Structure 1
């Protein structure tokens, strides 16, 4: 959540000198925030946002670039997850003219189902501004260290497709999908998310995202290695316990009829039940390699198996 606030704060402070980009961002924010709607038999533009900096950017832009008055009010709502704050933006006077200026209405006075043609068909600065505006209005991003995603909740299927096409123009693949009753556009590739943050105008947040993601991946790798080492230790301990039982059984079968070097290796296994083969090799007198101690224990067990089979065969022959 902290990262989301940081991203929106940085995007809201992004300053483009291109009027077309400002108009594209404002139009997209109005479209994704709520749009043109009838209230008391009058058309108004209404939007709701979760970032005060975002709504203040839109209010200021509507005032300076479109010469319309926009009012901002704070809304507090109780939800199952606690109290949340939202910020309403309302344009009452001249809302229809503003919708025409920004392309939310076409020349036949029909609501545009997606995004204005001059936005999605504009220059790259306008395309970036459209993504910036959509994210400021309805964007979310995962915290680093968790499953990576950057997602925008879209008002219609057409707006999701328009945003998907805009991402494609930026060289990024975005997935349009429907989750229950909402249309969404989603990025899941971590590198694509980092690139989109930079393209939208949030390089500081992109660096933070990359750094925290790297830290999370490093911790995950360390945990995996620790788990791997722990599993190896468990396997080694289990193998040592099984080998100890087999050596004890071999000694019972062979009695005193054991070659000295094999008996010494077996004695080490019985005396140091938790030791690894490498440790047993170092304990031998003189010290020998891991492979050598393993070979001697293996020959001891093979000799015991051979002896046991021979005895059974002899008993069967007598019977």
Structure 2
């Protein structure tokens, strides 16, 4: 089971909430999962979910809190990545009454409320938590560990997004609205804020799992970066050693037997131990010398060869 499915399953299994908090969750699930649809003169309330547990929770809550029968229908959508199954909660009879009871329909004008009802937006903290829980169950997403961290909710309207941002602010969490193509979204990107929101919504087990997997992913990523860095260093060192050996061979060819013994010994060490570092070459010398001394002698060997080569070229002219 994917982590997102585990979060929604955990949130759908919460019971024992006060009725006011449950009603706030119902309203949020209906608002962010779909809302109102007018068919002839009737209003049908419906909401779509990717979690069967969430759909069944809403179906039961509508019956026990408001006394209306709700149906759960399975719908398969064809996508470029294959069929995707969704679960649609529909209230056909009593839709107007339920819309009024949940605050999705304005009682005075009988017009749909574009965001969240004011009484919910200004409700207590328990209601604010279940608003976020309901919105997440309806249209929430969560990054998989190892990817860039995010928790986001796709919103049906700009008003709904702003209401969600205000609700997060009341919980002490900074959420940001953003436009992604044709959809409005509210996003959390700070890992600590995501972990805290998961806990506040009522998914502590999933929060621990998400945090643990994210930490493991960050550790693996760091190890991979270090390994790649070390590998790059090794490649650079091997290339530099190969180039140094080629220069020493050319110097030997130019100078022949006319090479000071200490410079010849340093050059021969370089040729005999291609992969060794300058420090290791110093330890191999007899007697041992410092890496700076090895580097200095090889440098003087190359300079001497270059000088002799230039003099030979001028003499030929």
TM-score, normalised to structure 2, is: 0.92
Matched, 1:68 2:80: no
1:313 deviates by 9.2
Aligned residues of 1:268 and 1:284 also touching (Cα < 8 A): yes
1:307 deviates by 4.4
Aligned residues of 1:27 and 1:102 also touching (Cα < 8 A): yes
1:156-171, aligned counterparts within 5 Å?
156-171=157-172
| Cα pair distance change 1:43/1:314, threshold 3 Å | closer
1:173-184, aligned counterparts within 5 Å?
173-184=174-185
For residue 89 of structure 2, give the secondary structure of its aligned residue in structure 1: strand
1:44 is matched with 44
Matched, 1:234 2:242: no
1:215 deviates by 1.2
1:191 deviates by 2.3
Q: Deviation string for 1:210-260 (max 9, x for gaps)?
A: 111111111111111111111001100111011112212222333333322
Q: Deviation string for 1:1-42 (max 9, x for gaps)?
A: 701100000111123532221111110001111112212421
1:121 is matched with 122
1:297-316, aligned counterparts within 5 Å?
297-309=298-310, 311=311, 315=315
1:76 deviates by 2.7
1:53 deviates by 0.8
1:252 is matched with 253
Aligned residues of 1:16 and 1:22 also touching (Cα < 8 A): no
Matched, 1:98 2:98: yes
Counterpart-to-counterpart distance in 1, 2:16 and 2:196: 19
1:172-211, aligned counterparts within 5 Å?
172-211=173-212
Aligned residues of 1:68 and 1:94 also touching (Cα < 8 A): yes
1:303 deviates by 3.3
| Cα pair distance change 1:46/1:314, threshold 3 Å | closer
Question: Structure 2: where are the runs of 5+ without partners?
Answer: none
2:113 is matched with 112
Question: What is the root-mean-square deviation in Å for CA atoms of aligned residues?
Answer: 2.0
1:306 deviates by 4.3
1:111 deviates by 1.2
Counterpart-to-counterpart distance in 2, 1:85 and 1:51: 9
Counterpart-to-counterpart distance in 1, 2:133 and 2:282: 65
Aligned residues of 2:42 and 2:96 also touching (Cα < 8 A): no
Counterpart-to-counterpart distance in 1, 2:132 and 2:278: 61
1:274 deviates by 2.9
Structure 1 stretch 71-80 or stretch 135-144: which is displaced more? 71-80
Question: Structure 1: where are the runs of 5+ without partners?
Answer: none
1:80 deviates by 2.6
TM-score, normalised to structure 1, is: 0.92
Counterpart-to-counterpart distance in 1, 2:149 and 2:230: 27
Counterpart-to-counterpart distance in 2, 1:286 and 1:214: 50
For residue 114 of structure 1, give the secondary structure of its aligned residue in structure 2: coil
For residue 35 of structure 1, give the secondary structure of its aligned residue in structure 2: strand
Matched, 1:27 2:37: no
